[in-house]
Structure 1
Amino acid sequence: MEFCNVQNNIKLVDLSATFCVGMPKYKAKWYPEFSYKEIAPQALVNNEWKRRFTVVSMFAHNGTHVETSDHVFKDGYTLGKTNLEEFIAHPVIIDLTDISNGVSIEAEDILKRIENRKIEERSIILLKTGYDDRAWGKDYFWDKSPWLDAEAAKVVANLKPRIVGIDFQTEKPNEKNFIVHKTLASAGCIICEYLFNLDKINEEFLFMALPIKMPELESAPVRAVGLLIK
């Protein structure tokens, strides 16, 4: 479901990945897959009954999710230290859809797109390339993404956003030092990864990415949506 009209004056756009068995996951062997199984109380195994119970095995970084600085620094700044209202706002959308697969997004790419724009501190900034939409589930997904280079990450961090949402991989493919994560987290920024359908919203929409209420964790899946009230 990409979008629906909740009422005549409300439009809702789904910006989230679909959770399903076999969904894309980072290619490292240690990275857990999403899975689920149905269970039944032992005493009722042979009984005819209509109810269903499902156990879900979900990694906090599967699919569309948010992550705090505790993810990269183990600094204790978990989701429980955030406020729910931080995850809702009219976004600042930076259009990077002309950026090709497999190339870096440089500082100048960001600067020329925000020239003459006043971006308030503590904004939600969405970086839109369309990569997740065109490449999710493809063989090349993990190897051909555009990425923020170190200087571009500094430009974004200097805008002092509260959330940066992206529809491409945060780091250069196979980067192991978490350069972009560390730069954004050091600026007090929450990262929202694996967004979709950013081409279907604009800055008149409310962006919402509400994490599952797991206050002790560094990350949690979200159902990210764009909401337009006409």
Structure 2
Amino acid sequence: MKTIDLSHTIKDGMPVFPGTETPCIKDVFTHEVHGFWEHKLTLFSHVGTHIDAPAHMIKGAPTLDKMNTDRFIGPGICVDCTHRNQNAPVISIDDLLPYESEISEIDFVLLNTGWYKHWGRNEYFTNYPALSPNAARWLMEFDLKGVGVDVISIDSAESSGYEVHTILLEHGTIIIENLTDLHLLPSDGFIFSCLPLKFDEADGSPVRAIAID
């Protein structure tokens, strides 16, 4: 069995959504003083590679801790959107249609824009490729567990609201953001896993997202 890590490393000073504090990771206990090593982690629930729960945008919707674990694992495909760039950043239905038959048989759609290559630079936060509302509605015609992207948000940076978030989350479809290395995924599909931390009222959670080939 081969696994492919699709997650960014959580660390001090890492890129975060504008307005969010960066994680703070401190040594509290050390081998030299205490005989063991332990860190204190202070971080927001949507830091790094993470899941958005329906409750993130929809009041009264399920939180991650209330969802069955099978919601976070299943067959997936990767849609090549690398032709989308700063000059044509909208991911449309036309980009998804060639994958229609595969989408009808899987649980997760991951959109490979190649934008993760800008991780750690200012370009990561602006004019990135993003799913159009119409394309999001088209995806909701399928029985998907989740949609994943390798950008900071599934909504465009120029969006005045969270329309794509709302379209997906109203259907109970989880959103996985800040994925990385999607170019490593096999073209014929894989098993995708994005198990979240189980904390009370989890509106979102960092995940160790992986693909199993």
TM-score (norm 2): 0.89
Who is 1:44 aligned against?
Answer: none
Partner amino acid, structure 1, of 2:148: G
| Local SS of the residue matching 2:168 | helix
Q: CA deviation at 1:218?
A: 1.2
Who is 2:181 aligned against?
Answer: 197
Q: CA RMSD in A?
A: 2.1
Who is 1:79 aligned against?
Answer: 64
Partner amino acid, structure 2, of 1:17: H
| Local SS of the residue matching 1:140 | helix
Q: CA deviation at 1:173?
A: 0.5
Name the CA distance, whole Å, in 2 between partners of 1:49 and 1:74: 44
Name the CA distance, whole Å, in 2 between partners of 1:149 and 1:141: 18
Aligned residues: 209
Which residues of 2 match residues 64-213 of structure 1 at below 5 A? 64-101=49-86, 103-111=89-97, 113-115=98-100, 117-120=101-104, 123-132=107-116, 134-168=117-151, 169-202=153-186, 203-213=188-198
Who is 2:27 aligned against?
Answer: 38
1:11 aligns to 2:2 (yes or no): yes
Further displaced range: 137-146 or 166-175: 166-175
Q: CA deviation at 1:120?
A: 3.1
Name the CA distance, whole Å, in 2 between partners of 1:57 and 1:48: 22
Structure 1 residue runs without a partner (length 5+) = 1-9, 42-46
Name the CA distance, whole Å, in 2 between partners of 1:138 and 1:69: 29
TM-score (norm 1): 0.83
